Structure 1
Amino acid sequence: MAGLYLEEFQVGQVFRHALTRTLTESDNVLFSTMTMNPQPLHIDFDFAAKSEWGRPLVNSLLTLGLMIGISVHDTTLGTTLANLGMTETVFPAPVFHGDTIRVETEVLAVRESKSKPDRGIVDFEHRAYNQDGVLVARCARQAMIMKKAA
């Protein structure tokens, strides 16, 4: 697996993920309807055209999921035991159909578990940018990560 073990993470380490993804109208409408989110800003083009944005916004939870998903291959693929939480999540700029998202991840903290010697917790900050370099999403995430087998 490509994921790193607890011992391989260092505070201050920054991953600039090579994967990028252009978000489409289909992505947005499918995600919004699959998650039972009828917000017209996401799925009603007429409504969205009359909003301050003038067009549909990409569902922020799709942006959040994509941001974290893009990070997985370089950081936690096969070594995550659990996501413990996502905090301080913000969306400082809108995402629209056709925007291409790139992501970087910074390691904020690394600590061993106090109760289970085979794992630890890594605190990440994920940041997503659009094709113009504008920050569109940021969150702190805490993940339980395997240690290398003894």
Structure 2
Amino acid sequence: MSGIRIIQRGLYFDELEEGATYVHSPGRTVTEADNVLFTTLTMNTQSLHLDAAWSASTEFGERLVNSMFTLSTMVGLSVAQLTQGTIVANLGFSDVRFPAPVRVGDTLYAETLIAGKRLSTSRPGQGIVEFAHTMRNQNGVVVAEARRSTLMLVSPASASGPATAPGPDPVPDRNPEEEP
């Protein structure tokens, strides 16, 4: 036994490659319990998620999975590979879409494109990364998309280098404790 300890973590800012797509594994099969628990915990009493008889009369013919569960799962599937222990804060979400419904029993798969990144001008040792998340069901149908801006740590080895990137600063840094 070597005594070497390997700790699972996400990628540091400088390890993320702009333009690369990271495919997350494993997928996640949605259960009835997931939908009911998430819906009731978040006080979303929408009949489309809870009332089977009412939902049967809709164009979908059944209850649908809460879209906020879908969004949370899409981001959650990326954590172990990209941000576990290396994120400082979520700064905001944009362009959130749900082009197709998720149903109980669907298995969801996610991938993330690194849409952009830059070093922070006001927070040495940190950088801003824009993730473009996409989620598909077991049939390859896109069920969710979102862009997410995050504040990420630069690796300790690189953090002692320059704190700013050359060029303009198009997105002002935000205090991660402020509402996005």
* TM-score bracket for this pair, using the shorter chain length: over 0.9
Question: Within 5 Å, which residues of 2 pair with 1:30-41?
Answer: 30-41=37-48
Note the alpha carbon deviations across 1:100-149, whole angstroms, 9 max, x for none: 00001000001000101110100000000000000000000001000112
Query: Which residue pairs with 1:117 in the alignment?
Result: 124
Q: What amino acid is the match of 1:44?
A: D
In 2, Cα distance between the equivalents of 1:30 and 1:8? 36
| Aligned residues between the structures | 150
Percent identical across equivalent pairs? 46
- Does 1:86 find its partner at 2:86? no
SS of the residue corresponding to residue 77 of structure 2 reads: helix
In 2, Cα distance between the equivalents of 1:49 and 1:33? 20
- Does 1:137 find its partner at 2:144? yes
Query: Which residue pairs with 1:101 in the alignment?
Result: 108
1:26 to 24, 33, 40: 33
Question: Within 5 Å, which residues of 2 pair with 1:52-63?
Answer: 52-63=59-70
Q: What amino acid is the match of 1:143?
A: T
Q: What amino acid is the match of 1:112?
A: L
RMSD, matched Cα: 0.7
Query: Which residue pairs with 2:153 in the alignment?
Result: 146
In 1, Cα distance between the equivalents of 2:139 and 2:155? 39
**Structure possessing the higher radius of gyration over alpha carbons:** 2
In 2, Cα distance between the equivalents of 1:125 and 1:72? 14
In 2, Cα distance between the equivalents of 1:18 and 1:148? 24
Note the alpha carbon deviations across 1:10-29, whole angstroms, 9 max, x for none: 21111111111110111001
In 1, Cα distance between the equivalents of 2:123 and 2:79? 23
Query: Which residue pairs with 2:52 in the alignment?
Result: 45
Query: Which residue pairs with 2:174 in the alignment?
Result: none
1:42 CA drift (Å)? 0.2
SS of the residue corresponding to residue 65 of structure 1 reads: helix
Which has more strand, going by share of residues? 1
Runs of 4+ in structure 1 over 6 Å off: none
1:80 CA drift (Å)? 0.3
In structure 1, runs of 5+ residues without a counterpart are none
TM-score (norm 2): 0.82
In 1, Cα distance between the equivalents of 2:107 and 2:73? 11
1:94 CA drift (Å)? 0.4
TM-score (norm 1): 0.98
